[in-house]
Amino acid sequence: AWARFKALVVRKERAKRKAGAGMTFNASRPSLLCLGVIIGMMIGPVEARAQGSSTADPGKPKAQPAAGQGRIMATQLPPHLKRLINAAKRLNEEPGLILDREKIEEVIGARLIESKPTRNTQGGRILVEYFASEGPLAAPLWRGRLVYTDQKESDSWSVRLEFGYAQSIVDPGLMCYFSRLLEAYWGKPFMYTPPDVHAQLQEWTRRPDLPPTGPHDGRSYTAAFRDMHPGSASVFFDIGPGGCLYNISIGNQYKNGEFSDDHIYHE
């Protein structure tokens, strides 16, 4: 009798445990369903993004810089910029002008403010003189200077005129003088030259079905025009993002035995 009673108790305990296990499963089922819905909502956007990225064309060119980069687009060149370009053309075409400080002042239409020379670590002479704010450089946001450098290691010297625009990037009147306007007034075609080795590699590896990089597509580069005669200057138009002019450089390097610096450098 004791054995039958003990067996009955064991069966009842097993039945309770089975019933408890079933209740636990049934009670947790709604929570699991909610969890599955939440996981599905999280996975859906991830899969959509993955599909979107996988379908993107890897060979598609990146978006080009917007013309003007937010600046006001000029429809024509102002008189002061035309005067600077005219001066650059004369210095590029007429030999001897870039070799004489007084002739430079005459061509540019502004005086140089005399400055004391210095020397670099190799003992070479350096002279930096700024143009007065007059003539074409009386225009807002334009600055100009002459930089002379004595290069002893190559037995030569160089002179460079730098005319920079837009020193204040927050000025509300900041204009974009687009490269096409400059090219039309200069009268010679601008050619795109990669500004560094990375840009050059990108040019070499461009897909053949893509159009070549051009001088007016908004990328930064320098339009270079070499000196036309011995003793004349090369001219460089530095084009920034959006195809806007930000600097004009005029100058060259000369051998000491060929051209004298007596009319440029002064103690």
Q: What local confidence, expressed as pLDDT, does residue 32 receive? A: 44
219-240 per-position pLDDT tens digit? 899 999 999 999 999 999 999 9
122-148 per-position pLDDT tens digit? 788 999 999 999 999 999 899 999 999
Q: Which residue did the predictor score with more confidence, 188 or 25?
A: 188
Q: What local confidence, expressed as pLDDT, does residue 223 receive? A: 96
Q: What local confidence, expressed as pLDDT, does residue 200 receive? A: 83
189-220 per-position pLDDT tens digit? 999 888 788 888 888 888 888 887 889 988 89
Instruction: Say whether pLDDT at 116 is over 80.
Output: yes
Instruction: Say whether pLDDT at 264 is over 90.
Output: yes
Q: What local confidence, expressed as pLDDT, does residue 136 receive? A: 97
Among the listed ranges 48-52, 84-88, 166-170, 225-229, which one has the minimum average pLDDT value? 48-52
Instruction: Say whether pLDDT at 25 is over 60.
Output: no
- For residues 215 and 223, the answer to whether their CB atoms sit within 8 Å is yes
Residue 82 to residue 79: CA distance in whole angstroms: 5
Instruction: Say whether pLDDT at 80 is over 70.
Output: yes
Residue 77 to residue 84: CA distance in whole angstroms: 11
Q: What local confidence, expressed as pLDDT, does residue 228 receive? A: 94
Q: What local confidence, expressed as pLDDT, does residue 266 receive? A: 82
Task: Specify the pTM.
Answer: 0.72
| Cα separation values, 79 from 72, 116, 137, 139, 248, Å | 17, 32, 11, 10, 16
Q: What local confidence, expressed as pLDDT, does residue 22 receive? A: 46
